[in-house]
Amino acid sequence: MKKIFVLFIVASILGCSENKTENQPEFIENINEQTPMKTKARPDIYASVKLTTDLTQLSDTEKEVLKLLIMAAQEMDKVFWKQSFPQSISFDLYALNDEERKFYQINYGPWDRLNGNNSFIEGIGEKPEGAGFYPEDMTKEEFEAWENPEKKSLYTKIQRDENDNLQAIPYHEAYREHHEKAAEILRKAATLMEDNPSFSNYLLKRADALVTDNYDDSDIAWLDLENNALDIIIGPIENYEDKLFGYKAAHESYVLVKDKAWSKRLEKYVSYLTELQTNLPCGAEYKKESPGTDAQLNAYDVVYYAGDCNAGSKTIAVNLPNDEEIQKSKGTRRSQLKNAMRAKFDQILVPIAKELIVDEQQAKITFEAFFGNTMFHEVAHGLGIKNTINDKGTVREALKEKFSALEEGKADILGLYMVTYLHENGVYTDGELLDNYVTFLAGIFRSVRFGAASAHGKANMLRFNFFKEKGAFTIDETSGKYKVDFDKMKVAMNELSTLILKLQGDGDYEGVSKLMEEKGMINSDLQKELDKLTAKNIPVDIVFEQGIATLGL
């Protein structure tokens, strides 16, 4: 087939990036031979949000550093384009209409991330499950039979050599140009932040990590940050994009400005992690591990998203690092992205609740409950068990591509368990407990719209169907709206927690597959409710106006 080389437009539609010449691949080769019927581009399902913060709290030096952090983040954006978009696919971007071009930018490619990764561009076939991490012609059997100790590494790209054999290329070599440029920028920022030794040290160690793929020291330095007004999460982090095995980490970055007042409010909850782990509703063998005691809870305004976290649905809270050993020995930081969270609450969750929640429970939909549910979702990632109880390795390794959806389901349901436990013990006092339960139900309708291609969407499908089966909510005959049955939802919460924790601890791949096949789907009743939201033009998610110019720097 004749190769077609296409120079891509890199205009930053809807603020996906400031850089207008470099954030996408320069060209993609070989038109995909699969040509299924395309779906419609849907940029209007995203509400545009301007990412800003109060810059008056920052010194002139911190403002200069903030610009550098955004520049470093943009390098992660360029890498993620290469990871999300297999190099064998080509089309003429100039032939797209404005809606298709905008949607292409939002999705980092021609597949609708909130509609099962279906193509919205004529002539483009299905998105490969391995995205750009593996050769498209590689089978699972070939990969499993290949003996290479680095093949499952989070930080290797799998490709073919000149003899058509598989080889594992370290990320710092595969994406050398972008890693080295980002590292150079971080080192420059570190020199400007010498008055804050812990932040300067983290930036230097993260720069070293980008050029070596050794991230542990920088993760620990990040957890040791003190008195920092700025923060950056940067590098290959989450493995959602790899739907073939779930092994490969995708590049992303968040540039953050700390909300010190809100962060102070959250400190008290960390000391309860051991108590919460001990009281999990499961057998002792599934909670024998101890969560790290140096865990942190902080609130931020996010001023820049790049790469994986900016593709499709936007993350509003982060729990890192993902390394299981660091989590057990040191803990994690749970970062609440308050301004993005507020935007989703106002523009999406409240309108959904008005359509689907009974009038007498409308007042129970509160931002405090939404913030709390989201925060404890992230904290809950640290609970449970990281290693299987039957020598199948880590839970992540045992569950492979099924891990992400079940882990998100665990975090959701254990987050509600944590709110309940802390509220009943007089520790969590923001509002009434029913606020969290009603807001939680409305949140299911919000997140299930992310679709089956999203780990978060699939987790919410599982929870909705499980709750329905257990009678956790009723439907008003007159209005057709949903009402939380507090007692039954609490019982269902504990039962689902027990089930998920057992599946994880057992490393039960077949059991997780069966559960997701039975309950991880949108049934006709749920689809009817989602259609109501579509008919009312309620956004599914948000997209950002962001960057140096947006901040006025």
The pLDDT tens digits of the residues spanning 340-357 come to 999 999 999 999 999 999
In order, the DSSP letters of 205-226 are: HHHHHHTT---HHHHHHHHT--
Report how far residue 549's alpha carbon sits from residue 553's, in angstroms, rounded to the nearest whole number. 6
- By DSSP bridging, strand 156-160 and strand 166-170 are antiparallel
Which one of 33-42, 170-179, 295-304, 406-415 scores highest in mean pLDDT? 170-179
Residue 522 token pair: 């949108």
The pLDDT value recorded for residue 4 is 34
**Can you tell me the mean pLDDT for 156-180?**
98
- Using DSSP, state whether 495 is helix, strand or coil: helix
Q: Look up residue 335 and give its two tokens.
A: 């970062």
Q: How many CB atoms lie within 10 A of CB 125?
A: 15
Contact between 445 and 355 under an 8 Å Cβ cutoff? The reply is: no
Query: How far apart, in whole angstroms, are the C-alpha atoms of residue 157 and residue 78?
Result: 15
Residue 502: pLDDT above 70? Answer: yes
Classified as helix, coil or strand, 31 is coil
List beta partners, residue 48.
543
Report the alpha-carbon distance of residue 418 to residue 306 in Å, rounded: 31
pLDDT tens for each residue of 227-279: 999 999 999 999 999 999 999 999 999 999 999 888 888 888 888 989 999 99
Query: Where do we find the tokens 């120079």?
Result: 7
Q: What percent of the chain has pLDDT over 70?
A: 92
CA distance 404 to 402: 6
Q: How far is 320 from 266, CA to CA, in rounded Å?
A: 17
Alpha carbon separation from 210 to 64, 170, 215, 218, 321 (Å, rounded): 22, 11, 8, 10, 15
Question: Residue 294 has what pLDDT?
Answer: 67
Q: What is the phi/psi pair of residue 272, to 5°? A: -95, 5
The answer to whether 39 and 114 are in contact (CB under 8 A) is no
What Rg value do the Cα atoms of the chain yield, rounded? 23
Q: Is the dihedral of CA 122, 114, 19, 131 positive or negative?
A: negative
Residues 6+ apart with CB under 8 A from 524: none
The residue type of 308 is D
Tens digits of per-residue pLDDT, 282-320? 999 999 998 766 678 899 999 999 999 999 999 999 989
Question: When comparing pLDDT for 91 and 109, which is higher?
Answer: 109
Q: Which two tokens stand for residue 20?
A: 């207008």
Interatomic CA distance for residues 520 and 461, integer angstroms: 5
Question: What's the pLDDT score for residue 495?
Answer: 97
Is there a contact between 107 and 119 (Cβ–Cβ < 8 Å)?
no
Res 361: pLDDT: 97
Q: How confident is the model at residue 181 (pLDDT cuts 50, 70, 90)?
A: very high
Calpha distance 365→352 (Å, rounded): 10
Spatial separation of the C-alpha atoms in residues 255 and 304, rounded to whole Å = 5
Q: What b/e readout covers 391-403, taking b as 16+ CB neighbours within 10 angstroms?
A: ebebbbbbbbbbb
> Between these two residues, 328 and 79, which has the higher pLDDT value?
79
38 confidence band (pLDDT: 50, 70, 90): low
Could you tell me how far CA 473 lies from the centroid of its own chain?
Answer: 28
CA distance 248 to 151: 9
Structure confidence by residue, pLDDT tens digits, 362-404: 999 999 999 999 988 888 888 999 999 999 999 999 999 999 8
Q: DSSP states of 425-464 as a string?
A: TTS--SS-HHHHHHHHHHHHHHHHTT-TTSHHHHHHHHHH
Q: How many helices (H) and strands (E) are present in the chain, helices listed first? A: 21, 13
Asked if the peptide bond before residue 321 counts as cis, ω within 30 degrees of 0, the response is: yes
The pTM of this model reads 0.84
Strand order in the sheet with 250-258: 230-238, 250-258, 296-307, 333-337, 317-320
Hey, what are 36's tokens?
């299924």
Structure tokens at 192: 């400007």
- In angstroms, what CA-CA distances link 382 with 318, 396, 397, 412? 12, 13, 17, 12
Q: How many CA atoms lie within 13 A of 241 on its CB side?
A: 31
Q: Which amino acid is at 529?
A: E
How confident is residue 453, by pLDDT bands cut at 50, 70 and 90? low
- For residue 54, how many other CB atoms are within 10 A of its CB? 9
Averaged pLDDT of the chain = 90
57-74: pLDDT as tens digits: 999 999 999 999 999 999
Question: Are 229 and 58 contacting, i.e. CB atoms less than 8 angstroms apart?
Answer: yes
Say how many Å lie between the first and final Cα of the chain, rounded.
48
537 CB-contact burial (10 Å; exposed 0-12 / middle 13-18 / buried 19+): exposed
